[in-house]
Amino acid sequence: MNPAGIKLLHVAPRARGIGGIETLLARHARTDGAHFDATQIGLFDRAGGGETRFHPQGFGWRNTPLGMRAAMRPVLARHAGSVAIWHNAWGLPWFADLDGASRRIVVLHAHRDYFADWLPAVRGHLDGILAVSPAIARDAAALLPDWPGERIGVLPLPIARPAGLRANRRTSGPWVIGCAGRLARAQKRWDRLVLCVAELRRLGLDFRIEIIGDGALRPWLEREFRGDAAVTFLGFVDTAEYWRRLATWDAALFFSDVEGGPIVMLEAMAAGVLPVYPQIGGSVGDDYAPQIDPRCHYPAGDPVAAARALHALLALAPAELEATRTRAQALAAPHDGDGYERSFAAFVRRIVALPRSARPSTPRPGRWSDALPLGAITRLLPGALWR
């Protein structure tokens, strides 16, 4: 099978939106055509925006596995024979017998805590495993010690640094500290920003904070920082404005409990911004932060420690601070360009060239829980998501 003849089908919980997986799938929508005949399915997306190769299914908490299987059967049948790319494997045990895949690859975007319980259970469905960081690939290999090394690969998370981007940081006045991404308590833990800011004030740091992004936690954060002139909520901004802001930041804060990347950290590093990142393990951030400076890598879950690490970094002598920024840019440089696309395409071709390792699909037996709404399964029987 030659590259031009490979049909590709991406399946993800959501394929359009502001999250990391959605950002990558939007990039796939722009670039896959150079290598494959590619289509995408978003299980919980509700609008397709007129894209002919994107099929939102609009599922929600009221849907049952029984109903979802009935809806997915004709959709998947139209793409039988494709190499199926299951992002974080959501829905794989429910739909694997329907996808008619010629090969099946799971892409792991998340921390080991997310996939440790289910990856061994779904291995019989798989021909290949891709991970968005070396740490995630190592964790997957440890969970499947007899999994062939040639069937696991790493994708360098992509960024698109504008040509000619130049730093435009303050020469006097307050330090500019950036925050960016989905403003949520779950996983992202932006609620910890409040204690971090309080500690920065106690330490006497002269600073202002810019927050790019939106999410369910934004109203709460705005109430917490009401009247604080040093904290600015910018919402979502366009790409040009986003990079213009990054070029003015001195440092960027992260508080996540779970991450695969994050891409925004790589983008900040490419602009010479110093990341202050938690020691959560298993992410790109954990690989890079200590290489920039050990102070960039603070104890997870401790926003006071994050503030103290930031204060120590910004107290460096100017020449040492600039050298630290240069290390951050050098680490981010390999993520710029088309390395992600080339790595992804090469891995798919490799898996296509290898014999199948997934066991032949057999009809999935019905279960009593298939009649329950997804909301109830998620709360009461989470294990049923992977059976």
DSSP 246-293: HTT-SEEE---SS-S--HHHHHHHHTTPEEEEE--SSSHHHHHHHHH-
CB 111 within 8 A of CB 258: yes
Question: What is the mean pLDDT of the segment spanning 9-20?
Answer: 87
Average pLDDT of the chain, as a whole number? 93
Q: Are strands 297-298 and 175-180 parallel, antiparallel or unpaired?
A: unpaired
pLDDT of residue 3: 47
Is it the case that residue 1 has pLDDT exceeding 80? no
CB atoms within 10 A of CB 323: 12
pLDDT of residue 241: 94
CB 32 within 8 A of CB 65: no
Question: What is the mean pLDDT of the segment spanning 328-348?
Answer: 93
| DSSP H or E run through 374 | helix 374-380
pLDDT of residue 4: 54
CB 219 within 8 A of CB 243: no
Give percent of the chain with pLDDT exceeding 70: 98
371: its two tokens: 């009649």
CB atoms within 10 A of CB 330: 13
At the topology level, CATH places domain 175-335 in Rossmann fold (3.40.50)
Looking at the DSSP bridge assignments, the partners of residue 179 are: 211
Residue 17 pLDDT level (bands cut at 50, 70, 90): confident
Is it the case that residue 280 has pLDDT exceeding 70? yes
Is it the case that residue 69 has pLDDT exceeding 90? yes
Is it the case that residue 199 has pLDDT exceeding 50? yes
The CATH number of the domain covering residues in 3-158+337-386: 3.40.50.2000
Quick: pLDDT tens for 218-247.
Answer: 999 999 999 899 999 999 999 999 999 999
In total, the chain counts a number of residues equal to: 387
Cis previous bond, 363, omega within 30: no
Residue 107 pLDDT level (bands cut at 50, 70, 90): very high
Is it the case that residue 47 has pLDDT exceeding 80? no
The Cα 318–Cα 302 span in angstroms is 27
What φ, ψ does residue 9 adopt, rounded to 5°?
-130, 110
Is it the case that residue 19 has pLDDT exceeding 80? no
- DSSP designation for 128: E
pLDDT of residue 103: 97
- Give me the residue spans of the domains in the chain: 3-158+337-386, 175-335
Is it the case that residue 2 has pLDDT exceeding 70? no
What φ, ψ does residue 121 adopt, rounded to 5°?
-70, -30
Is it the case that residue 12 has pLDDT exceeding 90? yes
pLDDT of residue 48: 66
Shared fold status for 3-158+337-386 and 175-335: yes
pLDDT of residue 168: 84
Quick: pLDDT tens for 307-325.
Answer: 999 999 999 999 999 999 9
Cα distance from N-terminal residue to C-terminal residue, the chain: 32
Long-range contacts of 65-74 (CB under 8 A, 24+ apart): 65/94, 65/367, 65/369, 65/370, 65/372, 65/374, 65/377, 65/384, 66/366, 66/370, 66/371, 68/43, 68/94, 68/95, 68/374, 69/94, 69/95, 69/98, 69/364, 69/370, 72/98, 73/98
Is it the case that residue 258 has pLDDT exceeding 90? no
